[in-house]
Structure 1
Amino acid sequence: MIRYALQCEHDHGFEAWFSASADYDDQVARGLVECPHCGSRAVSKQIMSPAVAGTKKAVFQADAARLQTLMMQAAREVRDHVEQNFDYVGDAFARDARDIHEGRSEKREIYGEATPAEVRKLKDDGVPCAALPPPPPDPAKAH
């Protein structure tokens, strides 16, 4: 893909992506490229610096991988904390959460299962609840 900086006859600047340089030429010749600001089809390429592949991409990929690892670790720690310190109530979560919120049951931290509709209703009614991060993948089954 090639990104071109373009400008119309009214000096409006904009960018557009093309599969190849020949695609740009073909589309301009057929009047398919137009200014998003004024609709003019009299457009031309502007001077722009080339996109040079280099170490930035590798650094970005390394940072993204490191960030993903940190996020997975944080999610695992949240889940472990909840499982060790909260009461598991199974599929009675929605009912129990509402009872605690409305004072019909003793205040305690709980977790369990609820349908999306039950969660929506709890949130609509002001009952605080949040999804628990999923269990981490089994390292033995990782590709």
Structure 2
Amino acid sequence: MIRYDLICEAGHDFDGWFRDAAAFDKALAAGAVSCTACGSEKVVKALMAPAVATARKRQQAQDKLAALKVAAPDPRQVALSEMLRQVRAHVEATADYVGDRFAEEARKMHYGETEAHGIYGEASPAEAHALAEEGIEVHPLPRLPEEGN
């Protein structure tokens, strides 16, 4: 693929990607190349310098990549992740895990069939919505960053 810097008769700069020079010429002749700003089909290739990968440029690119790999995470993100871990740990330490019986157990407590106490488990979105419509307060446990990996 070749990327051409292009310019229209109104002076708008834009770029286009083509399989090769012949593909550009064919698309231009067919009126398939137009300015992204004004729609003009009177387009020419702008003067471009070739992209030559020198040793210095390669080293600069490697240095930038290395800097990205060792960049420290945002301290606010680290603090938020730690708070989410603490909330999750507290719930798991102080509440009973009821698995997929969560909605059933929450209803029993809400309607006084069992003693109210902390529970956690799984509920489908439909079950959670139904609980909310019945006035039963439920909250999702926060997902930890490592659970998405």
User: TM-score when scaled to structure 1?
Assistant: 0.53
Would the alpha carbon gap of residues 2 and 78 (structure 1) be closer, same or farther in structure 2, given more than 3 Å must change? Answer: farther
> Is 2:37 the partner of 1:37?
yes
1:114 is displaced (CA, Å) by 3.2
| Preserved contact between residue 33 and residue 41 of structure 2 (Cα < 8 Å) | yes
* Residues 60-84 of structure 1: CA deviation (Å, up to 9, x unaligned): 55456557xx7xxx7x977865554
| Preserved contact between residue 5 and residue 15 of structure 2 (Cα < 8 Å) | yes
> Is 2:58 the partner of 1:47?
no
Percent identical pairs in the alignment equals: 36
| Preserved contact between residue 103 and residue 127 of structure 2 (Cα < 8 Å) | no
Distance across 1 between alignment mates of 2:104 and 2:3? 51
1:21 aligned partner? 21
> Is 2:128 the partner of 1:113?
no
1:129 aligned partner? 140
Unaligned runs of 5+ in 1: 138-143
Count of paired positions: 124
2:99 aligned partner? 90
* Residues 21-78 of structure 1: CA deviation (Å, up to 9, x unaligned): 33222211222111122221110111234445524544455456557xx7xxx7x977
Unaligned runs of 5+ in 2: 111-115
* Residues 80-114 of structure 1: CA deviation (Å, up to 9, x unaligned): 65554323442317975xx89xxxx66x6x65323
Determine helix, strand or coil for the equivalent of 2:40: coil
1:117 is displaced (CA, Å) by 4.3
Determine helix, strand or coil for the equivalent of 2:3: strand
1:141 aligned partner? none
| Preserved contact between residue 4 and residue 16 of structure 1 (Cα < 8 Å) | yes
Determine helix, strand or coil for the equivalent of 1:86: helix
RMSD: 4.5
Distance across 1 between alignment mates of 2:35 and 2:89? 59
